[in-house]
Amino acid sequence: MAQDQFFPSIGQVVEKADGVAGEPSTTEPDAQEDKPLEEVESLCMRCGEQGMTRMLLTSIPYFKEVIVMSFRCEHCGAANNEIQSAGIVREHGVTYTLKVLHGGDLNRQIIRSEACTIEIPEFELQLPPMRGQLTTVEGLLRDIVADLSADQPLRRIQDEAAYNKIEEIIDGLKEVIDEDEDEDAESKITAQKLKEDPVKRVLTIKLDDPSGNSFLEFVGSMADPRWSLKTYTRTIPQARALGLVPPDDEAKVPDGVAEKNEAEGEVSDGRDEEIYEFAGVCSRCGRPLVTRMKKVSIPYFKDTLIMSTNCENCGYRDNEVKSGAAISEKGKKITLKVIDQEDLGRDILKSETSGLIIPEIDLVLQPGTLGGRFTTLEGILDQIYDELSEKVFTTGDSSTIGNEDRDKFQKFLGDLKAIKQVEREFTVILDDPLANSHVQNLYAPDPDPNMTIETYERTWEQNEELGINDMRVECYSGDDPNEER
């Protein structure tokens, strides 16, 4: 109750403002308390006179409590607006991603904290952290256009190459917001009709905030197919930049981690702890790189090899999972019934020969899709969603697809996001002819009531596709020409 009293919603603030709008102004304390805004005299840094700072304490649905501040000096006209978080420090950082596909997406609200970095990949544009801001997607794009356009005349004389590159970004952003020089009443009515029409250029906006105090509005519910939210654990440098970790603790954290690893190493026999390194060549830039491999033993399953490749020159990364055991005699089909959030935390090993099916949303992944993955069920659903949302209907010739097909795909993404939140029960089927896939049994060693495992004989076609028909595993002596017969 106390929190709602100090941080009312926007609707309550508007009702309170309407109630005191018609009343004559007074300096009585009781009348000042009825005002929805707090007013404080402040020094203007431009002219040195006294200006007025107005503060609004409010709460934003599905987000947190914030303080909106506005300063204005009546003497010189200086003005400034800022927003600050008034809630507790979030435990994790956040990353918001929005696909701007329709005109209505430009009206989404954005809360940007002073630690937030904004990225627009299509233009290779990154905005560093700055003061807090409360705006919309369209307002953000217009601010970017205004900031980039400010020094263009001078830049055209000093550095024409930079001028041309920045001008391309400005023209592209203007194309997204459909900026016209003349806008009359008729064009405003037309703009309302264009909210559901696709934008001329698809755009992606990413907000990365290690403090967790930024927000990007979704439409309807968190199952919005054009909107996604991810949380992550802050690194030590990020926590130090936010003032959450003192500088003196810099050396203490690695020491504690090292001691923990040593303690864990005393218990392990060390056979599976060794990491192997192999020299190779990057497939993207052709420079030398290192591939690391580690053996992992999965309980109630088999040994698995996890390989990771990272190129320090171009940033190329690749991860892959391989079986470390012999080829199984039979194939395996795993059917899992997902009924709650706990099932999303199951470990899942999807080999490169396994297909994945979710019948409820008609999702079928052929063997080889996504390669080998060792993650959780939630993790593999996130990977599927990211791959589809980033690469389908938004790049190349697919960006010119018809509205009907685009709407169908958006509905499919909405259904995929709904099952990611387990808003309804669904079924996950892994069909692996080599039986190298695995789903964690939460009831091990007892049978899992929500999971069924079937084994089957591989067909000749499956063996042929896997190259098993041509394998010779016996009678090697017949290959030696010097062998006596």
Q: Name the CA radius of gyration of the chain, rounded.
A: 29
Compute the distance between CA of residue 329 and CA of residue 188 in angstroms, rounded to an integer.
68
- Tell me the mean pLDDT in the region 163-189: 73
pLDDT digits (tens, 9 = 90+) for 251-266: 444 443 334 444 444 3
For residue 267, name the pLDDT band (cuts at 50, 70, 90): very low
- Band of the pLDDT at 87, cuts 50, 70, 90? low
pLDDT, residue 194, reads 58
Strand 363-365 and strand 331-338: the pairing is unpaired
The pLDDT value given to residue 119: 94
Q: pLDDT by residue (tens digit) across 390-442?
A: 655 554 444 445 567 777 888 888 888 888 888 889 999 999 998 888 898 88
Average pLDDT, the chain: 78
> Phi and psi (nearest 5°) for 326?
-70, 160
**Helices vs strands, H then E, count in the chain:** 13, 24
For residues 468 and 155, the model is more confident at 155
Q: Which helix (H) or strand (E) holds 412?
A: helix 403-420
> Can you give the pLDDT at residue 23?
55
217-222 average pLDDT score: 81
Residue 360: pLDDT band (50, 70, 90) is very high
Catalogue the E-assigned strands of 5-78: 38-43, 50-59, 65-72
Q: Given this model, what pLDDT does residue 190 score?
A: 47
* φ/ψ bin of 155: left (φ > 0), alpha (ψ from -120 to 50), beta (otherwise): alpha
DSSP 8-state secondary structure symbol assigned to residue 88: P
As a whole number of angstroms, the distance between CA 380 and CA 390 comes to 15
- What pLDDT does 268 receive? 41
Residues 6+ positions from 285 with CB-CB distance below 8 Å:
311, 313, 314, 316
**CA dist., res. 118 & res. 233, Å (int):** 19
**Mean pLDDT lowest among 59-63, 142-146, 459-463:** 59-63
pLDDT at position 446, please? 87
Secondary structure (DSSP) of 421-469: TTSS-EEEEEEETT---EE--TTTTSPPTTEEEEEEPPPHHHHHHHT-T
- Mean pLDDT within 71-85: 83
Task: Determine the pLDDT at residue 261.
Answer: 41
Q: How far apart are CA 197 and CA 387, in angstroms?
A: 24
Confidence of residue 321 (pLDDT cuts 50, 70, 90): confident
Confidence of residue 185 (pLDDT cuts 50, 70, 90): very low
Sign of CA dihedral 271, 277, 278, 282: positive
The answer to whether residue 379 scores a pLDDT higher than 70 is yes
Whether 212 and 72 have beta carbons less than 8 Å apart is answered as no
Asked if residue 116 has pLDDT above 50, the reply is yes
C-alpha distances (whole Å) from 158 to each of 152, 153, 154, 385 are: 10, 9, 6, 45
Cα distance between residue 370 and residue 274, in whole Å? 27
Single-letter amino acid, residue 101: L
pLDDT score at 62 = 54
Confidence of residue 270 (pLDDT cuts 50, 70, 90): very low
Q: Tell me which of 231 and 397 has the higher pLDDT.
A: 231
Q: Is the pLDDT of residue 320 over 80?
A: no
pLDDT at residue 471, as a whole number: 74
What does the pLDDT read at residue 120?
93
Which of the pair, 437 or 298, is modelled with greater confidence?
Answer: 437
The pLDDT of residue 260: 40
Contact (Cβ atoms closer than 8 angstroms) between residue 102 and residue 177: no
**Residue 325 gets which letter from DSSP?**
S
